[in-house]
């Protein structure tokens, strides 16, 4: 796996993955997410892919998955994450809480490379809720 990051101007950079996708980052957070915000969102999207995949395989009627992330950072430089929490809001028709709990736990403990990697030095927590929705 490879990627590149190129300086645009000010504190803005564009990252390009080896698959050809690009994302802009801004250290000042004026025109794009900051690199640390991107790390947080990467954990959320990685875990969401797992949760959606596991719930689909379990034949759950899921219509939406949102993960709300909160993080705490150290007060000193480097301002690394010290805590990260992922709260999943799963909506659908008759979605089983047991299946959602299993999906979140499997992501946290086995599948999500990003949050598992971060968990080596960050306190990572997970929670969920199921919301009944109509299709």
In this structure, are 94 and 126 located in the same domain? Answer: yes
In this structure, are 19 and 48 located in the same domain? Answer: no
Peptide bond into 47 cis (omega under 30): no
Average pLDDT over residues 11-33: 97
Residue 135 has pLDDT above 70, yes or no: no
In this structure, are 113 and 65 located in the same domain? Answer: yes
Q: How many domains does the chain have?
A: 2
Average pLDDT over residues 2-18: 97
Per residue in 32-62, pLDDT (tens digit) is 999 999 999 999 999 999 999 999 999 999 9
Strands (E), 58-133: 61-73, 81-93, 123-132
Q: Give me the pLDDT at residue 118, please.
A: 97
- CATH code of residue 111: 3.30.300.20
Residue 134 has pLDDT above 80, yes or no: no
- CATH code of residue 14: 2.20.25.10
Q: What mean pLDDT, rounded, does the chain reach?
A: 97
In this structure, are 59 and 77 located in the same domain? Answer: yes
Q: Give me the pLDDT at residue 87, please.
A: 98
Per residue in 80-107, pLDDT (tens digit) is 999 999 999 999 999 999 999 999 999 9
Question: Are 133 and 94 within 8 A, CB to CB?
Answer: no
Residue 130 has pLDDT above 80, yes or no: yes
């Amino acid at each position: 796996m490879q990627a590149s990051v190129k300086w645009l101007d000010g504190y803005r950079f564009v990252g390009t993955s080896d698959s050809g996708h690009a994302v802009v980052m801004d250290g000042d957070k004026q025109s794009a997410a900051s690199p640390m915000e991107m790390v947080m969102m990467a954990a959320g999207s990685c875990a969401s892919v797992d949760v959606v995949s596991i719930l689909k395989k379990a034949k759950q009627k899921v219509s939406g998955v949102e993960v709300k992330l909160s993080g705490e950072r150290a007060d000193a430089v480097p301002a690394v994450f010290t805590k990260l929490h992922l709260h999943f809001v799963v909506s659908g028709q008759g979605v089983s809480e047991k299946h959602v709990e299993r999906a979140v736990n499997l992501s946290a403990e086995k599948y999500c490379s990003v949050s598992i990697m971060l968990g080596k030095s960050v306190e990572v927590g997970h929670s969920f809720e199921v919301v009944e929705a109509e299709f």
